């Protein structure tokens, strides 16, 4: 990036001044010049220089402002008491070795004495650090406003080889200061430096010695997210997230889809599941929406033809994995289909390729570096492989996906051919588990060279009640979109015939009632036939009759509770079903998890990194 462009940016954003954070603070006298501030802004490094000698032609006003800046950031001089305490602390931290006199025997320290010495040293280090920090007029991460002349630094002198990790090594630009103003000083010592946060996150289980670990742990970062987000890598991650969001909206708008905003407070499950966050709503039970599913479909019933939404999704899943959040951003789409539900697959192919290409092309607005390259400096990953054209996106059926794993990794299903055949046959009737899902990704990569692909025709057991059945018995007109062997999108053709939809709901109701009955018998060890036989036997005791009566009452109470639970689950669907009774065109759609998409495309280790303030089962703050 040219000097003129940087200068133009500074003027465009702030006029004659630039507001920055002090990344590193130093006071190094170099002749008559005092260099006191090094900072990084938008991926570029700058060094601010104060010239403490008045130049010819320089006005008294300008020189006075420079000297004022020097005074502002010079810090306070230590008192004799401060110096004495500092010397005392340094002696505690690094005591002088005492040589024994001739014939003198120095007793070895006990374990307790050694531990006490360690604790004293640790306390002394904290106190000394605080003393030095208080003495500095300008602390790292303080916000300052500077005015000066932007220039390129002089090249290093011959034979001069500064260390690559030297924080004061300025590679880009230098500002000769004319004035400095403190905007917002840092009050307390930061939990970690931005330079430390710039290093990659190392999982806690990989750290052998936490005390010697130079990396900031994920929990520490998220507890102090404001500091963590200041890194160049994190800024780039959120620029990528913004790019993907914008590209998703732009492509759908180009297809004349309408952006909608649906309720997040609902009366029951939006997907027929139990993963709900419930809350009281004016003395009634309510829930946070798991999906905008029913409202997208009602929009199609309203002849919107094609709709999309970007909004929060809530899932009460107690999952502590790198790809789960209890609140995430959903990218949802729903569209009327004319002939076949594969029309939505074609739409999604084009949508994703538009997103991927936009992301790969996106750059930092100041440095000009590609965002994916900035992130890869901290989290190296092989670039995501995807085809250039929609027609080349691999689409395989669920059964074909399992067969592909058998072809490339037969040992995954067992040691013998018989074990493999049985395990593969079972795998074709239930949803993918995580290991199989990843193996499918590896097999597709071997077969096609791509990380991006679609698996079509999922089993009935793996899909919600509103999914349209396939012509192939036991399967559905549904699909998942994958990236690097992990699901990023789930979608399907929806049932639009009212009779079929009602039949599915009735079926689920009966199943739940049946499961409840089995659960009662299993939980309490009661067998109805035995109880009835004992109560009807000649000379039956009152205890036997009471046991049967208790069982029958218990069963009735549980049946009522089950019916109420089912009513709560599907009660909010009354108007949804009524909308279908008014006539609705065949339609299909899908939902995308944005944070997971960011994680998998970039190859970063956790989708929480793509959430500004992540929500998980163990995290509700900040």
Q: What is the pLDDT of residues 313-364, one digit of tens each?
A: 999 988 888 889 999 999 999 999 999 999 999 999 999 999 999 999 999 8
> Cα(485)–Cα(437) distance, rounded to whole angstroms?
6
> Cα(457)–Cα(397) distance, rounded to whole angstroms?
6
More confident residue, 230 or 535: 230
State residue 171's pLDDT score: 58
Q: What is the pLDDT of residues 601-621, one digit of tens each?
A: 999 999 999 999 999 999 999
Assess whether pLDDT exceeds 70 at residue 99.
no
Q: Is the previous residue joined to 622 through a cis bond, with omega within 30 degrees of 0?
A: yes
Domain 3-75+136-189 has CATH 2.40.50.140: yes
Give the count of beta carbons closer than 10 Å to the beta carbon of residue 148: 22
CA dihedral in degrees (160, 165, 167, 170; nearest 10)?
50
Residue 53's pLDDT band (boundaries 50, 70, 90)?
A: low
> Cα(145)–Cα(18) distance, rounded to whole angstroms?
6
Average pLDDT over residues 565-587: 74
Q: Do 3-75+136-189 and 233-394+450-496+584-610 come out as alike in CATH topology?
A: no
Residue 1's pLDDT band (boundaries 50, 70, 90)?
A: very low
Residue 20's pLDDT band (boundaries 50, 70, 90)?
A: low
β-bridge pairing 587-593 and 327-336 = antiparallel
In 39-177, which ranges are continuous DSSP H helix? 60-74, 80-93, 111-135
Q: What is the pLDDT of residues 360-414, one digit of tens each?
A: 999 988 778 899 999 999 999 999 999 999 999 999 999 999 999 999 998 888 8
Residue 527's SS3 state is coil
pTM: 0.75
311-325, 475-489, 505-519, 535-549: lowest mean pLDDT where? 505-519
**What angle do the packed helices 293-301 and 574-581 form, to 10 degrees?**
20
Contact partners, residue 602, CB within 8 Å, separation at least 6: 237, 240, 372, 375, 376, 379, 381, 384
Name the burial class of residue 113, with classes exposed (0-12), middle (13-18) and buried (19+) by CB atoms within 10 angstroms of its CB.
Answer: exposed
- What is the average pLDDT score of the chain? 79
More confident residue, 15 or 457: 457
Residues pairing with 590 in the sheet: 333, 491
CATH class of 233-394+450-496+584-610: alpha beta
Kindly list the domain boundaries of the chain, sorted by start residue.
3-75+136-189, 233-394+450-496+584-610, 500-569
> Cα(511)–Cα(487) distance, rounded to whole angstroms?
28
Q: Pick from 261, 279, 280: which is nearest to 316 by CA?
A: 279
Degrees, nearest 5: CA angle 469-475-480: 95
> Cα(234)–Cα(612) distance, rounded to whole angstroms?
9
């Amino acid at each position: 990036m040219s000097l003129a462009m940087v200068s133009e940016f500074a003027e465009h954003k702030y006029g004659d001044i630039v507001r920055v954070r002090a990344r590193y603070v130093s006071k190094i006298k170099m002749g008559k010049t005092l260099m006191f501030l090094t900072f990084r802004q938008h991926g570029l490094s700058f060094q601010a220089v104060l010239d403490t000698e008045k130049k010819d032609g320089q006005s008294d006003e300008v020189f006075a402002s420079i000297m004022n800046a020097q005074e502002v950031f010079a810090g306070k001089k230590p008192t004799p008491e401060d110096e004495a305490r500092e010397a005392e602390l340094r002696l505690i931290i690094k005591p002088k070795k005492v040589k024994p006199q001739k014939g003198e025997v120095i007793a070895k320290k006990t374990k307790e004495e050694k531990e006490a010495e360690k604790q004293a040293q640790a306390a002394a280090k904290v106190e000394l650090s605080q003393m030095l920090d208080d003495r500095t007029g300008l602390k790292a991460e303080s916000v300052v406003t500077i005015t000066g002349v932007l220039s390129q630094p002089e090249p290093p002198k011959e034979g001069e080889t500064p260390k690559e990790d030297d924080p004061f090594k300025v590679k880009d630009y230098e500002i000769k200061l004319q004035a400095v103003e403190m905007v917002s000083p840092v009050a307390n010592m930061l939990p970690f430096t931005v330079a430390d946060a710039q290093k990659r996150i190392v999982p806690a289980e990989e750290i052998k010695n936490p005390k010697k670990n130079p990396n900031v742990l994920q929990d520490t970062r998220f507890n102090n997210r404001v500091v963590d987000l200041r890194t160049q890598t994190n800024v780039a991650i959120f620029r990528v997230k913004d790019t993907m969001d914008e590209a998703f909206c732009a492509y759908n708008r180009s297809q004349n889809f309408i952006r909608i905003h649906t309720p997040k407070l609902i009366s029951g499950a939006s997907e027929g599941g139990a993963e709900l966050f419930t809350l009281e709503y004016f003395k009634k039970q309510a829930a946070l929406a798991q999906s905008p599913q029913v409202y997208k479909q009602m929009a199609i019933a309203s002849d919107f033809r094609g709709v999309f939404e970007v909004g929060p999704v809530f899932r009460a899943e107690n999952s502590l994995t790198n790809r789960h959040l209890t609140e995430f951003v959903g990218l949802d789409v729903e569209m009327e289909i004319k002939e076949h539900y594969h029309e939505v697959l074609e739409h999604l192919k084009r949508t994703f390729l538009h997103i991927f290409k936009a992301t790969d092309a996106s750059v930092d607005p100041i440095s000009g570096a590609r965002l994916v390259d900035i992130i890869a400096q901290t989290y190296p990953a092989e670039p995501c492989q995807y085809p250039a054209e929609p027609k080349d996106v691999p689409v395989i059926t669920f059964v074909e996906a399992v067969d592909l794993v058998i072809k490339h990794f037969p040992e995954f299903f067992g040691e013998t051919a018989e074990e493999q055949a049985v395990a593969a046959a079972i795998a074709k009737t239930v949803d993918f588990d995580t290991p199989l899902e990843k193996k499918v990704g590896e097999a597709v990569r071997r077969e096609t060279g791509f990380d991006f692909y679609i698996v079509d025709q999922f089993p009935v057991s793996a899909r919600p009640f509103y999914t349209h059945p396939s012509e192939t018995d036991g399967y559905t007109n549904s699909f998942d979109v994958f990236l690097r062997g992990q699901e990023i999108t789930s979608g399907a053709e929806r049932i639009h015939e009212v009779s079929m939809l009602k039949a599915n709901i009735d079926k689920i109701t009966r199943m739940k009632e049946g499961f409840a009955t089995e659960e009662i018998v299993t939980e309490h060890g009661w067998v109805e036939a035995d109880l009835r036989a004992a109560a009807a036997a000649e000379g039956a005791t009152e205890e036997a009759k009471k046991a049967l009566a208790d069982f029958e009452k218990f069963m009735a109470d549980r049946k009522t509770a089950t019916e109420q639970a089912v009513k709560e689950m599907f009660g909010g669907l009354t108007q949804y079903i009524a909308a279908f009774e008014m006539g609705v065109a065949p339609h299909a759609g899908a939902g995308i998890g944005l944070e997971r998409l960011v994680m998998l495309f970039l190859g970063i280790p956790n989708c929480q990194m793509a959430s500004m303030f992540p929500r998980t089962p163990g995290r509700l703050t900040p």
